[in-house]
Amino acid sequence: MKVLGIETSCDETSVAVIEENSVLSNIISSQEVHAQFGGVVPELASRAHIRLMMPIVKRALQETGATITDMQGLAVTYGPGLVGALLVGLNFAKGVSQATGKPFIGVNHMEGHIYGNLLSQKTVNFPIIFLIVSGGHTMLVKMDDHLKYKLLGRTRDDAVGEAFDKGAKLLGLGYPGGPAIDRLAAEGDPDFFNFPRAHLKNDPFGFSYSGLKTALLVYLKDKTEAYIQSNLNHICAAYQQAAVEILVKKTILAARKFNIRQIAIAGGVAANSRLRKWLSEEAGQKNMKVYLPEPKYCTDNAAMIARAGYEYLKRGMESPNTLNTYPALELQSIAD
């Protein structure tokens, strides 16, 4: 069963073809136009999606030697994300569905990230404590089975990816900043400075990341440019340490509280090397299994959307042609 996946929720235009758990093609075009603005400009993102959609669909199909008629159906992100960006992918999928008679299914982008992890695993056991960490979201979810989720907690302000991006901007590292901080931190001392960790005692599975970026801003205020440059690796390492420690501690706490032995991470920040190593070490000591996604399936891509969509399509589920986009779509479980 082949599925064509389409992802246009933010600034990556991506189209993939998968067959069950195998990725046959996964084309990702990261829009360069936003770099000069230090963040994604929604209007420009939509325009770029329109321009890129057709050529990328053609390439994704060509790479597999398949045509649209070989697909069982299409899977497309319909939220959360930028409304104008989502509309491009969703309307394209609707058009193809109408023209070919193939079913399409709307996929929640966060559910896509979860399946970006599962795509990397040969076998999985449920239940799983899932930490989903991206540029727009930070949440802990208990996944009881395929397509069954319970939200345990989320960020009340910034997402952790946002903390990486905003921190990197303050340090003059460009956008997106997560990979740059990760790279520089590898040569730095994580104990160089003690940035704050928001434990939120009354909200054990909640997160708050706005204070971390503010703490960096305050820290940098009285430092000279020369000092910052000569200690850049250390500053990145200390900042990353604070961001990651909370993620690791809360994920392990959730696994212990619910007595679950499987934990997993997903989303762009799941590519972070410190997070991957630290969580693996902690889990190893506690005899828990960690499912790590391949780095290429952490950041936005259409293979993860196709993989999530496949779970619905194989159950005979499809979306109506009236499906709308939902910029703040919540993770939902299928009915029992």
Sketch the per residue contact string, 262 through 301, with Zn ion: x for CB under 5 A, - otherwise.
Answer: --------------------------------------x-
Of 268, 258, 277, nearest to 205 by C-alpha is: 258
**Which has the closest alpha carbon to 15: 82, 81, 120, 96?**
96
Query: What residues form DSSP beta bridges with 131?
Result: 140, 265
Residue 182 contact, options ligand KG4, Zn ion, none, Cβ 5-8 Å cut-off depending on partner type = ligand KG4
Structure tokens at 224: 């000279």
195 near ligand KG4, rule: CB under 6 A? no
Among residues 75, 88, 238, 269, the one that binds ligand KG4 under rule CB under 6 A? 269
Contacts of residue 180, Cβ cutoff 8 Å, sequence gap at least 6 = 168, 173, 174, 236
Site string for ligand KG4, 58-97 (x = CB under 6 A): ----------------------------------------
Read off the tokens for 161: 């990816």
Our CB check for ligand KG4 shows the closer of 61 and 270 to be 270
Shortest reach from residue 149's CB to ligand KG4, in Å: 17
Report the residue number, 206 or 268, with the smaller CB distance to ligand KG4.
Answer: 268
User: How far is it, in rounded angstroms, from Cα 125 to Cα 145?
Assistant: 9
Please, where are the H alpha helices in the chain?
A: 42-64, 83-100, 109-118, 160-170, 178-185, 210-221, 225-230, 232-257, 273-285, 302-313
Closest separation in Å from C-beta 252 to Zn ion = 24
Give me the residues that bind Zn ion (CB under 5 A), please: 134, 300
Give me the residues that bind ligand KG4 (CB under 6 A), please: 10, 134-136, 161, 164-165, 176-179, 182, 267-269, 271-272, 299-300
